[in-house]
Structure 1
Amino acid sequence: MSESEYAEADFLLAARGHTQELGAWVVDLAFSKDGTCGLGLGDGTVRIVAPGGTDWATAAAHDGAVLSLVADAKDGFLSGGDDGRLVRTAADGTVSEIASLGTMKWVEHVAAHESGLRAASVGKLLHVFDARGEKLKTLTHPSSVGGIAIDAKGKRIAASHYNGASLWFVAAREDKPRVLEWKGSHAGIVLSPDGTHVVTAMQENALHGWRLADNQHMRMSGYPSKTRSMAFTARGRWLATSGADSVVIWPFFGGGPMGKAPTELAGGDGVLCSAVACHPQHEVVAAGFADGLLLLAEIGSGKIVPVAPPGHGGISALAWNAAGSQLAFGTETGFAGIVDLARR
């Protein structure tokens, strides 16, 4: 379907959305607990959108690009930049430095947990901080960290790297990781909500997973492109992924994905899915595509709801608020929007 065949009125964005042209690549975005949305941009700013979506403020967070951004523990946002700094941006736009981790070094990945635990990676090193911003420890990996994830309880941190992933207990007296081995380069990483599975996105257009109970390997291949976005559904039954011209969803129940074909939703036009985000309560996936199309897909029925039309650049960031009533997105060209999906 060509762009001219899409009618703006057919998409929820027209009736229920607030949009902005931000002028720089939207690298990452997240909602804090109070419903404030933060967007980390390639120009080093963090844009802050108050609940309601009409007030968009700007905070100068980094001297250079924002490389990653997450919601901080209680409110505000945590971001890493190519200026070597880990900073916190409060909802009122106040920027405070948690750590300067070295000039000429990139703080490439950040993570935070509601307990106050924070983590940031620079090269091979993973720096762990508490709620006060005090450094708890530095964890060393065999190669550059490709991604980090904190489990639901805030007790373990997983980091991907070359030839596998490392799983660390934050409170361990002796920092010795459980190493999950698989040859190759591992980038993005996710932990299942119940903490039983670890999955990484690999360099060669495939995913690799480990079932922690017995070290069972899971190989999920067949992608035409690299998977840059992964998300488990709320109860961990499904893993939604980008990297194909459909939303590829792997089953993690009844023995997991081994030997099972994935479910594919909303595909067929040859445009790659570039971002996914799972609803915090229901088995619904928000999916963004390389042409800017944004839609919702219900896993059980396969029903598709169009949210935003193509034409504003590829979807590069996507997130739900905690209630699942708002969906925020950003694109490579700096177009961003927040859509109100609450029942009316």
Structure 2
Amino acid sequence: MVENSAAGLSLFDLLARHWKVDGEAAEAVFNHDDTVVIFRTDTGQLALASLKDTESPKIRTRMDIETGRTTIRPRENPVTQVVMSQANARADLPVARFGSQGFAIVGLDGVMKQITAGGNVVDRLKPESIGVTSICSNTAGETLALARQNQITLYDTSDMRVVANLVLDHPVTCQAFSSDNRILAAWGGKKLSLINLQDPSAGPRITECDGDITEISWQKSGRHLSCASADNSFYIVNCSTGAAQRVEGFPTSVRNTSFSEPGKALVTSGAFRLVGWDCIDLPENDLPGTPLTTGKPGFVAINVVAAHPERPLVASGYANGLLTIASIGSEQEMMLHQENATEVSCLRWSKTGEHLAIGYASGKIAIVTFPAQMFK
């Protein structure tokens, strides 16, 4: 059991560092080394927060040997402020990783820029006659994919050498690398192309995929991927057969989906409770699959979800500012925080699941650091 050691302080107060930026927090991305998280606002502002914390909850947590009771003492000093980048990103494009420590953005001037872990800005690619329509990187930040309409260029981030030039028969506005970096999924114009990066000349496998796809998530095995759509639906794609199954009927837009490897589940936002399926039996060929009951039903929609990378847990952010962590396949859940008069707009776990980055529509951003005792 974890208890507060100071009256009037919530668990969130003891575990979180938080700041305020202008505009809605639209995205949070950890660098590959898990040393910095960057927050992008809906106006393109960029705030970088170091994960280094001299008063980390891990340091402030104590367990009584006799009773087994765990307590967390409050901070004694103010938290270190975030670093605001001098660069502004295009608000319609995500942040990608650049190498092991940095990030890549497309600036308002069309220049592809590297943002270092310390917040410095380095221009890497000049704008071309056709503007960038999509940007993404592989997990390690070693390869960067820039799409310009129907053309995709792959770069080695170590020296910005062109690795491959690809031309598709449809425009590209959303991309994602598979976990093993062998396949690049590229969506646009109602089509999804699965490009074999080991042999790009072989041509992509193309799947019809309607909707307004805003995010693509890969299963670690590469067997399936899921596509979140702004039209209150999402798609599950069998990457072996190319078959796409649309799952519709959500009360709000499905902003994102997330595969939980420890929980062997696929979970999505967009409903009044956490929606999930067993990865062994996902919806396919118009069959419903095996749903998993997770968390408790409510009257407020879930905006965003994030599956823990090492435990069968899912963080859910609601449209009323509520933040919970639920155990997959169980109604058991923990209310981590209730932020009033706003909504949770983005969530992201660090690589080990030690840190959870949270953004709100109000511009509040936070990093929650969990002591090891929290999830035992």
- TM-score, structure 1 length as denominator? 0.87
2:136 aligned with 1:136: no
2:165 aligned with 1:165: no
Q: How does 1:62-73 map to 2 (within 5 A)?
A: 62=88, 65=91, 67-73=93-99
Equivalent residue for 2:245, pick from 207, 218, 235: 218
Cα displacement (A) at 1:247: 1.6
Cα displacement (A) at 1:239: 1.3
Q: What residue identity is the alignment partner of 2:363?
A: G
Cα displacement (A) at 1:64: 5.3
Cα displacement (A) at 1:276: 1.0
Cα displacement (A) at 1:182: 3.8
2:29 aligned with 1:30: yes
Give CA deviations for 1:239-267 in whole Å, capped at 9, x if unaligned: 11111122211221146664225335345
Structure 1 residues 232 and 299, CA gap change in structure 2 (3 angstroms):
same
Structure 1 residues 138 and 292, CA gap change in structure 2 (3 angstroms):
farther
Q: Please list every run of 5 or more consecutive structure 1 residues that lacks an aligned counterpart in the other structure.
A: 1-7
Match of 1:273 in 2: 302
Greater CA drift, 76-85 or 295-304: 76-85
> Is residue 68–residue 81 contact of structure 1 (8 Å, CA) maintained in 2?
no
Q: What residue identity is the alignment partner of 1:130?
A: D
Q: How does 1:120-199 map to 2 (within 5 A)?
A: 120-131=146-157, 132-172=159-199, 174=201, 176-199=203-226
Greater CA drift, 270-279 or 194-203: 194-203
Aligned with 2:12: secondary structure? helix
Structure 1 residues 202 and 42, CA gap change in structure 2 (3 angstroms):
closer
Q: Distance in 2 between matches of 1:18 and 1:212?
A: 40
More strand by share: 1
Greater CA drift, 77-86 or 48-57: 77-86
Match of 1:302 in 2: 331
Give CA deviations for 1:198-221 in whole Å, capped at 9, x if unaligned: 222245322222222334443322
Aligned with 1:174: secondary structure? helix
> Is residue 16–residue 341 contact of structure 1 (8 Å, CA) maintained in 2?
yes
Match of 1:46 in 2: 46
Cα displacement (A) at 1:288: 0.7
Q: Distance in 2 between matches of 1:315 and 1:307?
A: 12
Q: What residue identity is the alignment partner of 1:268?
A: P
> Is residue 80–residue 108 contact of structure 1 (8 Å, CA) maintained in 2?
no
Q: When the two structures are aligned, how many residues end up with a matched partner?
A: 337
Structure 1 residues 267 and 182, CA gap change in structure 2 (3 angstroms):
same
Q: Distance in 2 between matches of 1:66 and 1:96?
A: 21
Q: Distance in 2 between matches of 1:217 and 1:267?
A: 29
Greater C-alpha Rg: 2
Q: Distance in 1 between matches of 2:212 and 2:46?
A: 30
> Is residue 275–residue 318 contact of structure 1 (8 Å, CA) maintained in 2?
yes
Give CA deviations for 1:288-334 in whole Å, capped at 9, x if unaligned: 11122111111033311112213252222211111211111111221
Match of 1:18 in 2: 17
Aligned with 1:167: secondary structure? strand
Q: Please list every run of 5 or more consecutive structure 2 residues that lacks an aligned counterpart in the other structure.
A: 1-6, 54-78
Q: Distance in 2 between matches of 1:270 and 1:255?
A: 26
Q: What residue identity is the alignment partner of 1:74?
A: S
Equivalent residue for 1:318, pick from 347, 350, 375: 347
Structure 1 residues 182 and 50, CA gap change in structure 2 (3 angstroms):
closer
Q: What residue identity is the alignment partner of 1:201?
A: A
Structure 1 residues 223 and 35, CA gap change in structure 2 (3 angstroms):
same
Cα displacement (A) at 1:171: 3.9
Structure 1 residues 211 and 340, CA gap change in structure 2 (3 angstroms):
same
Equivalent residue for 2:266, pick from 239, 242, 267: 239
Q: What residue identity is the alignment partner of 2:145?
A: A
Q: What residue identity is the alignment partner of 1:316?
A: S
Cα displacement (A) at 1:77: 1.7
2:292 aligned with 1:263: yes
- TM-score, structure 2 length as denominator? 0.80
Match of 1:3 in 2: none
Q: Distance in 1 between matches of 2:263 and 2:206?
A: 23
Greater CA drift, 256-265 or 39-48: 256-265
Cα displacement (A) at 1:185: 4.5
Cα displacement (A) at 1:49: 0.9
